[in-house]
Structure 1
Amino acid sequence: MSVGGSFPKVAVIVLSWNGWQDTIECLESLQKIDYPNYEMIVVDNGSTDGLVEKLKRWAKGEIPVNTRFVNFDASLKPVRYIEYDRKTAEAGGDQQERNLEGLASSRKLIIIQSGENLGFPGGNNVGIRYSLKKADFGYVLLLNDDTAVAPDFLTKMVEVAEKDEETGIVGGKIYYYHHPQRIWYGGGKLSLWRASGINQQMGKTDGKLSPRHSHEEPNGVIGASFITGCLMLIRRKLLQSSRLFREDYFLYVEDTDFCYQALQEGWKLKVNLGARIWHKGAPAEGREISLMSSYYMTRNRLFFGFETIQGLRYRIVFGLFFFFTRPVRLLMWAISDKRQVAKGTWLGIMDFLKGKKGRAVL
C-alpha cells in the first residue's frame, strides 16, 4: 500500500451481457476479498436475461451461490444497491449514494444500465466515466463477469501499483475455471509485427513453465507489454491523461490498443503472478473460434496494425505477414471444415478495406 498504510479506493467494474449466473458468482467471490476499500460496479450492457432483477434478488440474499470457488454467505446479505441509467451514471450518479455511506465495501453495489449493447470497450467506458466523476477512486479495475477471484488478488495488484507511480496498468495470473491449475494468462507480450497481444504461459501449470520463464517466481512480479482486459487494474492518472478504450472496435483488440497507447505515453505495465483469478470464458487451446470472434479479431487487428501502431517499418512488416499468410490459412480452414472461421476472417478483411468500424451485423 502507500507509505502511510492507506488503501486507495478501487472501482471494480464488472461488465455483463446476458450472464446473470456468472455475474453473481463473481460478485459473491468479490465480497470475500481482503482488500478493504473498493466498490462493486456492475454495468448491464443491454442484457435480455433479466440480469438486473437477478442482481437485486441476489443482493437481498434470495439467490444462493455455491460453486467450486464460492460458497453462499448469508451474513454478507443484504447488499444495498443503487441503480442508474447511463446518463446519470456518466454524470457521476446522484444523492442516493449518501445511503451507502458507512457500509463495508462488500455490502454495497452500483448497478448501471447502459440501455444497449455497447460492446466491451463501450460498456466498460460507461463504468470508467462514472468512476472518474468520483474524486475518491485511485484505481479502476476491469474484471470479466465470468470469473472468480482469490481473496488476496486485489491487494496484490494494488501493492504493485503503489510501489511505482510510473506503473499505469497491472495484471494478474488467470487460470482456466474448468481446469484450475492450467494458466490462461501468465504475462503478456505485444507483438507489433503481428499487431497482436499474446498471452504468455497459456496451457502451462505453475510447475511446468516454459524455459524462457523458468527463472521467474511463479508468484512474482514481472514486466509486460500486454495485459488482457479480462483483469486490468488502471491508475486513475492514466485514464485522466489519455483517451479511454476505443469504442469503434466494439469487441476484441481494444485492450491491445489501450496497452500500446499507455506504453507510448511512457507508462509501465506489470503483472503480479500471485494475484489469481479463474476465467470461465477463457478459450481452450485448439478450440475453434466463432464467426463473430474471428470477424472482430481480424478486422480490429488490421485497424490496430495500420492505424494505431507508429512506425512505417512495423506497418510494412505486419502487412506482408498478414496478407501473405491469410490466403493459406483461409484455404486450410475451408478444407478442414472450419468454414465459420474462414468466413469471419474474410468478412473482417472486407470490412477493414471498406473502413467499416463499430458493431457489425453478421
Structure 2
Amino acid sequence: MQHEKQIVSIILLNWNGEKDTVECLKSLRKLDYQDYVIYLVDNDSRESSLKYIEKYLNESSYNSDIITSDDLNMYQKPDDVNLIFILNHENAGFAGGNNVALNYLIDNPEVTDYVLLLNNDTIIKPNLIDALLDKLHTDEKIGFIGVPHYYYDNPDKLQTIGGGFIDIKHAEAIACMEDKDEFDFITGSCIFMPIEVLKQIGSLPEDYFMYWEDVDWSTNARNHGYKLVITTDTSIYHKEGASIKSYKRIYYHTRNRIWYMRKYTNSIKYYKFLVYMILFVLKTSTTAKNEDDKDYAKTLKLGLKDALLNNKTII
C-alpha cells in the first residue's frame, strides 16, 4: 500500500559495534519508504568505532550531521539531513542510550509521525516500513508492532516471531514462534509505534541497564490500553547477542526479573517468586562442583543481592 508522506524516526544504538552498525545502515538505505530520519546514538564507544562509522557516512549516500547528546535539544535539523549521529558522553546502557533519541522525540513530537526502535545488529527488508504501517492501520488500538526475526547466519531459521509471553510465576519472558492476536511484549530489537503512543507511555525504563526493559515498556503500553501485535508481511535478520557476554546476561536477567516482578505484581506473587528465586540460587550454589558452575552460582547470587538491595551495579 502507498502511504502519504509521514516521517518515520529510526533509532539505532552503537556501542563498539561499528561493523554491525554500518551493515544495518546499508540495509536501511535500501528501504522502499524514503521519508525517514535515522537517529544513530553512540554510547561512548572507542575512537576507532566512531572513526569507522564516520568514514562510512562520509562515503555513503546519507546526508548526515554529527552532534553531541548535550546539544541535541538545541539542534535544528536541515531539511536534507536524513541521519543524525549523536555522540553520548557515557555508556548509558540499552535504555539510556536509546532514550537520548526517544526523549528528544517526546520533547519535539512535531518532527516525526512514527518511531522505529531497531537493533544495530539487524538487517532489514526493503518493505519493512510499509508493512509496519499497513499493520498499524488495521486497528486504532495497536500500540507496538514487531516483526519476525530470522537468524543472520541461518536466514531460513526463525529466531522469534517478534513477540512473546510472560510466565509471571517464574518471571520468564518467553519468545513466541508463531503469530497470535496479541502478545505480552514485543521484542526490543524491533519495535514500531506512532509518536502519540510514545508520548503517552514515555521512554524506556533505565533502571535495568540491559534486558527486561522491552518487557517493562511493553507492559506499560498494555496498561495504557494498547494492543501489542506483529506483522508477518516483512522480517529482519538478527545477529543475536553479538556484543553480550554470557555472565552479563545471567547477572542482568537475574536482577532485572526480580525488579520487574516487584514493579508489576502484587505482594503475594512477588514474595512467592522471591522464595522461588532464593531457593534456586541456594540449590545452584550448594551443588556447584566445577569452576564454571561456581562462577554461574556466584553471578546468580550477585544478581539476587543487587536486586534486593536495589543496587544499580553495571558489570
Query: Aligned-residue CA RMSD in angstroms?
Result: 2.3
Aligned residues: 312
**Does residue 86 of structure 1 match 2:60?**
no
**Does residue 159 of structure 1 match 2:129?**
no
Match of 1:354 in 2: 309
Match of 2:118 in 1: 143
Distance 1:324 1:58, change over 3 A: same
Amino acid of the residue matched to residue 212 of structure 2?
A: V
Amino acid of the residue matched to residue 96 of structure 2?
A: G
Displacement after TM superposition at 1:313 (Å): 4.1
SS in 1 for 2:182: strand
- CA deviations 1:37-96 (Å, max 9, x no partner) are 2111210001015233222211232xxxxxxxxxxxxxxx3322111111221x1522xx
Match of 1:17 in 2: 15
Q: What percentage of residue pairs aligned between the two structures are identical? A: 29
With the length of structure 1 as denominator, give the TM-score of the two structures: 0.79
Task: Determine the C-alpha separation between the residues in 2 that align with 1:142 and 1:82.
Answer: 20
With the length of structure 2 as denominator, give the TM-score of the two structures: 0.90
Distance 1:292 1:87, change over 3 A: same
Mapping of residues 1-362 of structure 1, within 5 Å: 5-61=3-59, 77-89=60-72, 91=73, 93-94=75-76, 97-98=77-78, 100-101=79-80, 108-132=82-106, 133-186=108-161, 187-201=163-177, 213=178, 222-282=181-241, 290-306=246-262, 308-331=263-286, 335=290, 337-357=292-312, 359-360=313-314, 362=315
Distance 1:332 1:145, change over 3 A: farther
- CA deviations 1:302-345 (Å, max 9, x no partner) are 11111x11333432442343333333344566558344332221
Distance 1:331 1:114, change over 3 A: same
Task: Determine the C-alpha separation between the residues in 1 that align with 2:205 and 2:164.
Answer: 20
Unpaired runs of 5+ residues, structure 2, are none
Distance 1:337 1:55, change over 3 A: closer
Task: Determine the C-alpha separation between the residues in 2 that align with 1:26 and 1:251.
Answer: 21
Task: Determine the C-alpha separation between the residues in 2 that align with 1:25 and 1:45.
Answer: 18
Displacement after TM superposition at 1:239 (Å): 1.6
Moved more, 326-335 or 221-230: 326-335
- CA deviations 1:13-39 (Å, max 9, x no partner) are 010100111100000000001122211
Task: Determine the C-alpha separation between the residues in 1 that align with 2:18 and 2:245.
Answer: 23
Task: Determine the C-alpha separation between the residues in 2 that align with 1:84 and 1:315.
Answer: 43
Moved more, 129-138 or 172-181: 129-138
Moved more, 327-336 or 343-352: 327-336
- CA deviations 1:157-204 (Å, max 9, x no partner) are 222122222111110101111111112211311222222321112xxx
Amino acid of the residue matched to residue 228 of structure 2?
A: L
